[in-house]
Amino acid sequence: MTPDLKEICKKYGDRLYAAAFSICRQQQDAEDAVQECLIRLYRSDTEFESEEHLKAWLLRVTVNAAKSIRRTFWNRNRTSYEEYMDSLGFEDPSDRSLMDAVLALPEKYRIVVHLHYYEGYRTREIAQILELSENTVKTRLFNSRKILKAKLEGWEDE
């Protein structure tokens, strides 16, 4: 019995995902475990005796992949965003609000803000680091300030 991957995904995908999710408790990790299972199936030369044999094999491989993902260094040492922010110990609650707002910016703005305000680089230096024009950096800083101002209504300007 040679399995058809499309058919297997339709028939068992939800079950495999549910099994992986019950172990990983993270959507992306569960998806990775299912993907790993399907890759192993694709590469496998195992002859399945029956549909039940195939289903058991898929679940076993998915569960093992999910357990492996849970044992990785990254997952053992991952903390939630809230736990991390709580561990920073902001003196002023407004500092936490500012950090939350900065982290919520789109990446292209966030990196420019970080380099300028937290690392102390000038726009020319940021342009060189990011391989952008100096005007692009200035525009991104301007736009990020506008976004932050809207998010942090009621705050005084710098």
Q: pLDDT band at 153, cuts 50/70/90?
A: confident
**Would you state the structure tokens that stand for residue 128, as one six-digit string?**
């060189």
pLDDT tens for each residue of 37-95: 999 998 888 888 888 889 889 998 999 999 898 888 776 666 666 666 666 677 777 77
Percentage of the chain surpassing pLDDT 90?
27
The residue-averaged pLDDT of 93-105 equals 81
The pLDDT of residue 75 is 67
Question: Taking all residues of the chain, what is their mean pLDDT, rounded to a whole number?
Answer: 84
Fold match flag (5-76 vs 81-151)? no
Spelled out in words, what is the top-level CATH class assigned to the domain 81-151? mainly alpha
The pLDDT of residue 134 is 95
The pLDDT of residue 62 is 92
DSSP state of 132: -
Q: Are 16 and 62 in contact (CB under 8 A)?
A: yes
Q: pLDDT band at 158, cuts 50/70/90?
A: very low
Query: Domain residue spans in the chain?
Result: 5-76, 81-151
Nearest to 106 by CA among 61, 151, 67: 151
Q: The domain 5-76 is classified under which CATH number: 1.10.1740, 2.40.128, 1.10.8, 1.20.120?
A: 1.10.1740
The pLDDT of residue 81 is 63
Tell me how far apart the terminal alpha carbons of the chain are, to the nearest angstrom: 69
